[in-house]
Structure formats: structure tokens, C-alpha cells
């Protein structure tokens, strides 16, 4: 528990039942301006095995910053930007009235697919899901489902959140730009240069025995704990850009430290760093947050309230449903990266994350 001598309140929080038990565990990594302060693991990773700071936990949506960096670098290399229409890279995406959809719309979750994703209405959330994409027998088949999907309204006018669909499209853009598999590009352009040697973008049957995996466990009230579906069968070995990275909390911090400019010198130029840190979606109802108007930059959540911080703080990062959180506070230089294999109900997960973040800031005198 190196570094926790400075974080007494934080240690007390991590000892609580929402962070560790004989069934699940958590990791916390904290740095300031890219310099590590603490890297700690508590609890177990299943089957009575101790959770360590090297255990690989799936990041869910906190995986998205890796593809964002790879995309930014690929676009910069050919002098293009986020305003390019998707059809310029994937002509078949223009089907069913999507010819005006740009990369920016994908990255800000403002492509209102008729029957894909989660959106918000005056009566509450509209959940169309992504089952047709998830159940597709191949990458190309899943991409075809997305390309053939019509829109419900104008791009940019409504939030429709997709876990994987927009990210499959963005990964395909990267692949057509570079003529390389997106996993290989992310490895060579992001994981390697940022020193993320404990992280993989996907799991194969061959690599599985060598990995210290810590599977996610659903802990719904009134039900027996069960593995998340993504941890079982063919789901575990799928190509799911934006949600399938597995690694420790210290590695999950590296991409947001890079975007903030505290590590990975040369990975992003000043122009792209400004694009990724500047909020550009302010006034649209977000279905993930009960219709609140949550700030987004390009592919990153830029709203401090999401991380339990005061209004006015400039932040970038992401959250993973009921399990993970990572952000860089651009004002204080603090990066907080949290992973847990215990997927608590939404309200409890929201509470534990904010309790932990506030403890870290108070221990370091940065509130």
C-alpha cells in the first residue's frame, strides 16, 4: 500500500464493504502531474485469490480514451480532423440518410439511430439496445447492421449513447486510414509508448492462461452474485473496441494523463490536446444521467459533477457502468483511476465513487 501514509481517509474508505470482500476487490491509482502517489489493491479477484495491483480488470467504457488517442494520431498523420463525414472513410455508412454524420457526432454520442442505443425522451429513457450488433456473426456483419440503420432525427441534435456501435465505426475508420487492425494500432501507438504493459485490448484463448484476470461480478440486490455476461463464453474473446480493455488501474490512468499533457510526450500535438480537453456538448439531455445536460469533449466526459467534483473544474475522463472511473483534473494535476470487480447497483456505485474521490482530494488538501 505504498503512498497511503498520505491518504488516511482514503484507506479508511477502501476498507469498506463496497470496495472489498471475499468475493470481489478493487484497485486505486492516484498520480499528480503524471507522478504516482499511490497504487493499491484490496479484496479478492475471485476464487479466494488476492487482488493485486497487477490484476487485469475489464475497463468497460473507460477503454474509450485509447481509441480516441489512436484516432487522433491517425487523423493528424493525414491532415484531417473531427469534422470529416464518416462516409469519407466508410462510404457504405452514408446509407439510410447518414451522409451528414461526422466523426464529431460519433465522438459526442449525437448520432440518433432509430433502433440502436440509449436516448432520452420527456417520458424517460428510450432503450433500443445494441443486440443486432452484438449478435452479429462477424465484424463485417456488425458494421453492416450499423451502416444500414436509419436515423430518427438530425445528427448533433440529440444524445444517443452506444456502448459499442459508434466505436466499431470509429475503429473501422482507423483501420481504413492505416490499413491495420485497430488492436495492433492501439498497441503500437498507445499501449507501448505509454508503458501500459499490463493491458490488452482483447483476450484470446491462447493468452487467457497467462493473464491474472479479475472478472466482473454482478451484485444486484436480492440476487445471487453472477459473472457479467461479457466475462463468459464467446463474449470474452470478442473484438469490442471501446469496452474490452483489461488491465490494472495504473494503466487505465495513462491515456488521460497523456491527453492532459503529463505523460506520453509527443503522442498528441497541442492542437489535438486542446480538442480533446475542450467541452463541446453542453445542452443536450444525457440518458446515462437521467436527462441531465452532461458536458462532453471528443470521446471523453468533461463534466466535473460526474466525478464528484465541483462545477467549474476542467476535467476529462470516463466512467464504466457500476465498476470503473478515471479522470484527470486539469486544474490540480490529479489523476484518479479506480477499478472494482464488484458491480454494485447504480446508486451505490455512484455513492462509493464519489466518496472515494472526495477522500483522495481531502487527504491531499486539494478540495
Q: How far apart are CA 35 and CA 263, in angstroms?
A: 9
pLDDT of residue 207: 73
pLDDT digits 0-9 by tens, 65-76? 999 999 999 999
Domain range summary for the chain, segments of one domain joined by +: 4-59+181-363, 69-178
Burial classification of residue 176, based on how many CB atoms lie within 10 Å of its CB (0-12 exposed, 13-18 middle, 19 or more buried): middle
Distances (CA, A) of 6 to 41, 95, 118, 224, 335: 16, 56, 41, 37, 16
* Range of lowest pLDDT (13-22, 120-129, 192-201): 120-129
Span 204-221, pLDDT tens digits = 777 777 788 999 999 998
End-to-end CA distance of the chain: 23
Strands 217-218, 342-343: pairing kind:
parallel
Residue 1 has pLDDT above 70, yes or no: no
* Dihedral sign computed on CA atoms, order 327, 273, 94, 140: negative
CA–CA dist 58, 341 (Å, integer) = 8
361 vs 366: CA distance, rounded Å: 5
pLDDT digits (tens, 9 = 90+) for 46-61: 878 999 999 999 999 9
The torsion of the CA quartet 191, 67, 234, 320, rounded to 10 degrees, works out to 100
Which band of pLDDT confidence, cut at 50, 70 and 90, is reported for residue 6? confident
Tell me the three cell numbers of residue 273: 490536446
Per-residue pLDDT at 210: 74
pTM: 0.95
Q: Which CATH architecture has domain 69-178?
A: Up-down Bundle (1.20)
Q: CATH number of the domain at 4-59+181-363, please?
A: 3.40.710.10
Amino acid at each position: 500500500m505504498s503512498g497511503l501514509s498520505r491518504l488516511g481517509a482514503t484507506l479508511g474508505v477502501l476498507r469498506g464493504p463496497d470496495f472489498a470482500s471475499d468475493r470481489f476487490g478493487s484497485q486505486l491509482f492516484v498520480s499528480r502531474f503524471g507522478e504516482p502517489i499511490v497504487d493499491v489493491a484490496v479484496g479478492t479477484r475471485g476464487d479466494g485469490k488476492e487482488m493485486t495491483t497487477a490484476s487485469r480488470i475489464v475497463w468497460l467504457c473507460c477503454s474509450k480514451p485509447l481509441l480516441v488517442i489512436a484516432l487522433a494520431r491517425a487523423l493528424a498523420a493525414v491532415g484531417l480532423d473531427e469534422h470529416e463525414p464518416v462516409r469519407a472513410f466508410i462510404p457504405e455508412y452514408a446509407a439510410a440518410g447518414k451522409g451528414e454524420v461526422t466523426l464529431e457526432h460519433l465522438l459526442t454520442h449525437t448520432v440518433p439511430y432509430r433502433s440502436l442505443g440509449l436516448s432520452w425522451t420527456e417520458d424517460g429513457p428510450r432503450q433500443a439496445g445494441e443486440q443486432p450488433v452484438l449478435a452479429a456473426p462477424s465484424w463485417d456483419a456488425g458494421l453492416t447492421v450499423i451502416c444500414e440503420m436509419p436515423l430518427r432525427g438530425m445528427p448533433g441534435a440529440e444524445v444517443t449513447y452506444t456502448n459499442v456501435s459508434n466505436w466499431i465505426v470509429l475503429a473501422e475508420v482507423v483501420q481504413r486510414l492505416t490499413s491495420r487492425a485497430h488492436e495492433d494500432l492501439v498497441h503500437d501507438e498507445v499501449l507501448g509508448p505509454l508503458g501500459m504493459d499490463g493491458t490488452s485490448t482483447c483476450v484470446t484463448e491462447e493468452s487467457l492462461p497467462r493473464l491474472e484476470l479479475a472478472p466482473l461480478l454482478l451484485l444486484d440486490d436480492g440476487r445471487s452474485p453472477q459473472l457479467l455476461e461479457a466475462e463468459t463464453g464467446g463474449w470474452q474473446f470478442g473484438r469490442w473496441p471501446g469496452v474490452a480493455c483489461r488491465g490494472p488501474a495504473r494503466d487505465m490512468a495513462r491515456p488521460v494523463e497523456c491527453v492532459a499533457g503529463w505523460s506520453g510526450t509527443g503522442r498528441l500535438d497541442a492542437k489535438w490536446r486542446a480538442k480533446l480537453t475542450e467541452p463541446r456538448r453542453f445542452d443536450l439531455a444525457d440518458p446515462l444521467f437521467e436527462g441531465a445536460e452532461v458536458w462532453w469533449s471528443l470521446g471523453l466526459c468533461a463534466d466535473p459533477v460526474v466525478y464528484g467534483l465541483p462545477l467549474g473544474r476542467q476535467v476529462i475522463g470516463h466512467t464504466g457502468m457500476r465498476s470503473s472511473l478515471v479522470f484527470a483534473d486539469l486544474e490540480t494535476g490529479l489523476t484518479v483511476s479506480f477499478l472494482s470487480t464488484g458491480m454494485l447497483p447504480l446508486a451505490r456505485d455512484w455513492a462509493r465513487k464519489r466518496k472515494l474521490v472526495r477522500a483522495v482530494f481531502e487527504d491531499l488538501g486539494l478540495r
